Structure 1
Amino acid sequence: MTTAVETRDWGVEWAAALDELELDVVEVEAMLADERRLAETPPSNLWRPPTELGALPLELRPRADEILTRQLAAAEEIARRLTANRQQMAMTSRIETGEAVKRPVYLDCAM
């Protein structure tokens, strides 16, 4: 007699889990490609690894590695853009607009 655990197809369940994870990466990549969409899109739900699936089947390892590589590239691009944004904010904060400091327009040297 086989139990429900023995009849589960781990490969199919892992493939479904990788599909879900890959959709998250595709969404981030699309937002990075379209800054307007990035500003208007609320954050998505965090991906949670499936429970009770056991070890990743070897035939799915290349796909999992490719998804990980894409995730790392997206995270690196996000970090790069955050750094550029901070640098731009620091630069613009040093630009004198004349509004904060009132200086004389002319100097009377006749005195």
Structure 2
Amino acid sequence: MTAPQWRRAWVEALDALEADVVAAEELLAEEHRMRDLPLTDPWQPPAGLGPLPLDLRPRADEVLRRQLAVAQQLATTITGTARQAAVLNRLDDGRDAPRPSYVDCAM
């Protein structure tokens, strides 16, 4: 693989990772869409990619930082949703409450 091909392969790999991060960030911005979109396949590096070119290191570091931030936000959102569901499950909506079987008219 020539140097330009090697660099191009890395640019394409980072483009794919960055597109995944952008998609996750958009999901967080519009939570209602999370229910409607299918899960994506995990990223796999292309075969024969080789080491990262040094001039692309800052971009790769930024993509990684954003991936970690999105993962943290997703975990926080999932935890919050689970808590809300637990609270809602404990609320008494009155549908299953026993109803009185008679009315006291002696008063």
TM-score (norm 1): 0.82
Query: Could you tell me which of 84, 88, 93 is aligned with 1:97?
Result: 93
Aligned length, in residue pairs: 105
Q: Aligned pair 1:47/2:46, yes or no?
A: no
Q: Which runs of 5+ in 2 are unaligned?
A: none
Question: Quick one: distance in 2 between partners of 1:89 and 1:7?
Answer: 53
Structure 1 distance, partners of 2:49, 2:84, is: 46
SS of the aligned residue for 2:45 comes to coil
Distance 1:97 1:32 in 2: 31
Q: Does 1:83 align with 2:79?
A: yes
User: Structure 1 residue runs of 4+, over 3 Å off?
Assistant: 5-8, 103-108
Alignment of 1:1-111 (within 5 A): 5-6=1-2, 9-104=5-100
Q: Percent sequence identity over matched residues? A: 46
Q: Take 1:25 and 1:78, find their aligned partners in 2: how far apart are those partners? A: 12
Q: CA RMSD in A?
A: 2.1
Gaps spanning 5+ residues in structure 1: where?
A: none
> For residues 7 and 75 of structure 1, do their structure 2 counterparts lie closer, same or farther at Cα, with a shift above 3 Å needed?
closer
Change over 3 Å in CA distance of 1:78–1:105 after alignment to 2: farther
